[in-house]
Chain A
């Protein structure tokens, strides 16, 4: 007895093609039948569902207040799914009072309990669906089930759990996430982890500190970034220890965090970080100094205008423009720097803040500078060229506006 290939071969090419034609025609027919049957089924299903949604919506207040006994709709899977979807959708747009009311309804009706059970006992996409639903409710009792799912084998499930925990935005969720990353390290991409931690640690950022001190490698960087986002002035002293940290991310986080703290404490640290060898640490420090709005920062910000990185120059310029009482002397200093890139960054920031007119009039009415100086400054303001720049160099406007190494 020959193999199937032998038998096919013996049929000859014509018979083979004939069979292929039949197969292709049958495939065409099956595909068409599937499309049309599916359409018909879906049309009927959605017509039925829409009618039911309409009916339930009319009784919505009675439903969530419990006037209509839960058993009346809970027994039918079809009705239960509709009610749950409606409740979860309502959560998205609800204010605190309505959310509390909805949460009470979901607890009393057993919907949350059911989802917790599913999140703990199901697997695959069914578990994922339960985790998403739990996240949407923001119910604190869902946190343990969500935390348990962080240990799932599938990364998609872990991500769903992480996002769900992030939605709850409570310190309990932060503790669970931190315990988990402390235990297993970085097993999910950094962005979702950072987002979740930022949402959960806003209330108690100090939760992060022990793990930041302990963690190593990329995890330490990730946590440092989170710390930078959520740190409050109360943490300023703790954060000082990271100013000299070997990890750039942590130094940047310290800079970011210091900008929220007391100027007296932050100023020296930020001045030091503004001289860092890594550009994004300098960037964060310059942004931080801008936020302090302390005139002592002006020399550092002027130095930032001549930075080798264009983002640092731009942020330094944006910070300098905010010192509205001393715009004329600042502009004088900018010109004295004799740095075309710095000047253009400053002029860009000035125009973006719509402050050019104000500076023009301040120069015009200033009593502290002479007419010659005034005219030179107005010219620089209008042409965007430094006094020493030769006009015949003839750079086109585009180069003027954007020349950079």
Chain B
């Protein structure tokens, strides 16, 4: 027993150290690449791209399910984006409310026989509409398919541009977000096949007429802690992984893809729980198996602002779903592990996801249990145990403050001193008890999946009104 506890504690110690070191390396890489990106931006005048004759068209796909309250403003916002050749496809995914009527009234829709090629699997279509007010707007009205992936596929079938940008209908995109996300593609259209943009927390900020007026930190602690999580995940994690061309996730709220490739892999998997991660994993597989020289990039400055859960129950459901989604993607991709054709995806990105993302809650709970037991039985020095806890706390705080620093030296959206002080203080406070709750939610997600609950469930959101929507 004692031998087992000793071994378990050692394993946990090295696991924890490796995980933190990995994050430290990512922080250093992200600091370097963010600084480089800022420099690069100086050579890009965005409106030059806008005026450039060869800037390729983009189709925005915005799935909408029961969005009657905000759909008008959200779609007006999309149509006002700064981009030369734009098509906006709104997919009304079997809304039970007045979403379609709102769109009809606001944009004077008329039925059309727009070209719809059912290449990607989706539920049946009721009709296609084009706006008389703005011919760039197409609405696909379809039966509820039960998942966002199904709705996006319908949009994909109607898309006519070489690039598709998938956004959430209730997210707010900054006006130049499309020009910014296209920067890597315009620089190297042959190799860059997909680009992820940064998603930030909208809660608490002021939105007027679909445009973000003032960025504020949310008042509720649970929302503010998610701001730090998003900063850490996007500004450190994705930035660093993308540097090694190992980005495994492009957020479903804002990502750009080459249309032909998304179609080539069969579009989104309708039954996928984490459709965004799933698509990127299948793109990597397809492109590596075909031997393409490609890149999937992340750009940290095109901002998409989205609403995050504001109560523990919704947040718990979201995090459980993310964990289920992770397993739902990693399990079918297990044949890519440590195999030569998949290169660094099989040797680094996927093993990292298995070890430090999927197994993290399991390791954490087992580690905590065995350390407590060992300390109780006297196998572990209590002094060492307390010291190790303190180290873990201080180190995790370094990473969190590092992400705030990245935000500060690059985009600096929180201009109010009070917001920064609160943000920094949450870097210290998030470890107890939020982290432990997070671990439990993730364990719940794993348990649900293993029990056979593989269904995609939409989250209840308050709507943009919660973000100071006017």
Contact = CB atoms under 8 A, between A and B. Distances in A.
B384 interface: yes
Main secondary structure of the interface of A (DSSP, over half): helix
A92 B47 contact: yes
Nearest to A225: B54
Contacts of A199: 52-53
A131 B45 CA distance: 12
A200 to B, nearest CB: 11
Contact of B116 (A136, A198, A402): A402
A159 B391 contact: no
A108 B56 CA distance: 39
A402 B383 contact: no
Contacts of B157: 402
B401 interface: yes
B369 interface: no
B53 A352 contact: no
B408 A14 contact: no
A209 B327 CA distance: 57
Which bucket holds chain B's interface residue count?
35 or more
Nearest to A13: B384
Interface stretch (B35-43, B85-93, B253-261, B284-292): B35-43
Interface in A1-22: 13-14, 17-18, 20-21
A27 interface: yes
Contact of A35 (B45, B48, B127, B424): B424
B395 interface: yes
B388 interface: yes
B374 to A, nearest CB: 14
Interface stretch (A185-193, A235-243, A276-284): A185-193
Interface stretch (A52-60, A299-307, A341-349, A367-375): A341-349
Contacts of A20: 391, 395
Contacts of A166: 48, 52
Contact of B388 (A17, A135, A189): A17
A185 B21 CA distance: 44
B186 interface: yes
Nearest to B123: A398
Contacts of B404: 35
A167 B48 contact: yes
A28 B40 contact: no
A219 interface: no
B130 to A, nearest CB: 7
Contact of B397 (A18, A24, A345, A396): A24
Interface residues of A, number: 57
A347 B401 CA distance: 59
A25 B398 CA distance: 8
A194 B55 CA distance: 10
A24 B17 CA distance: 13
Contacts of B417: 39
A14 B398 contact: no
Nearest to B157: A402
30 contacts: A14-B384, A17-B388, A20-B391, A20-B395, A28-B398, A31-B405, A35-B401, A35-B408, A39-B408, A132-B43, A135-B48, A159-B43, A190-B189, A194-B54, A195-B54, A198-B54, A347-B113, A348-B113, A348-B114, A351-B130, A396-B124, A398-B125, A398-B142, A400-B113, A401-B113, A401-B114, A401-B115, A401-B128, A402-B115, A402-B157
Q: Across the A-B interface, give the 10 residue pairs with the lowest CB-CB distance, nearest first.
A: A402-B116, A398-B125, A24-B394, A195-B52, A160-B43, A401-B113, A31-B401, A195-B54, A351-B112, A348-B113
Given A17-B384, A348-B112, 20 more contacts: A21-B394, A28-B397, A31-B401, A31-B402, A31-B405, A39-B420, A131-B43, A132-B43, A163-B45, A163-B48, A166-B52, A191-B186, A192-B187, A199-B52, A344-B113, A348-B113, A397-B126, A398-B142, A400-B113, A402-B114
